[in-house]
Amino acid sequence: MSELGDLKGCTDGGCIIKKPKGMHTNGGCRCAREIQRAGEVGRKELMKLQMQEKRIAALESAHRWVPVSERLPSKFDKVLSCNTHGVVETKMGNRMHENPDVYPYWMPIPPPPEGVK
């Protein structure tokens, strides 16, 4: 309950946070309802965060250097390739199939920025 130590509690005699001194109401502790509501909001925010994390992971995996040992691009796709000297070039996928030792990494070419035709 140390996390709740700074909370004032409500004015109900059965308050779960802090029992009030002197006069108080007996309408039922509002703190429990507030804690429950905060928990529901927290769960919704957690679900949003988890969905965002999944989206980020999907975007990162779509735009990463893929080792040719993992998989090769389609022979007809134009891709970014990285040769053994670290030089990045655009290549057709068939070049990656022909020279996997020269071009050990590739990635899909990202789409152009929004608004550019």
Residues 6 and 52 in one domain: yes
Question: How much is the mean pLDDT over the chain?
Answer: 79
Question: Which tokens belong to 1?
Answer: 């309950």
Q: For residue 116, is it within any domain?
A: no
Residues 48 and 84 in one domain: no
Q: For residues 89 and 80, is the Cβ–Cβ distance under 8 A?
A: yes
Q: Is 77 exposed, middle or buried (0-12, 13-18, 19+ CB in 10 A)?
A: middle
CA separation for the pair 90, 64 (Å, rounded): 15
Question: Which tokens belong to 10?
Answer: 């409500």
CA separation for the pair 95, 82 (Å, rounded): 12
**Burial readout 18-55 (b: 16 or more C-beta within 10 A, e: otherwise):** eeeeeeeeeeebbbeeeeeeeeeeeeeeeeeeeeeeee
Give pLDDT tens digits for 10-46: 666 666 666 656 555 666 666 767 777 777 778 888 8
Q: What is the pLDDT of residue 81?
A: 92
Q: For residue 117, is it within any domain?
A: no
pTM for this model (two decimals): 0.49
Tell me which residue range forms the domain holding 85: 66-108
- pLDDT confidence band for 4 (50 / 70 / 90): very low
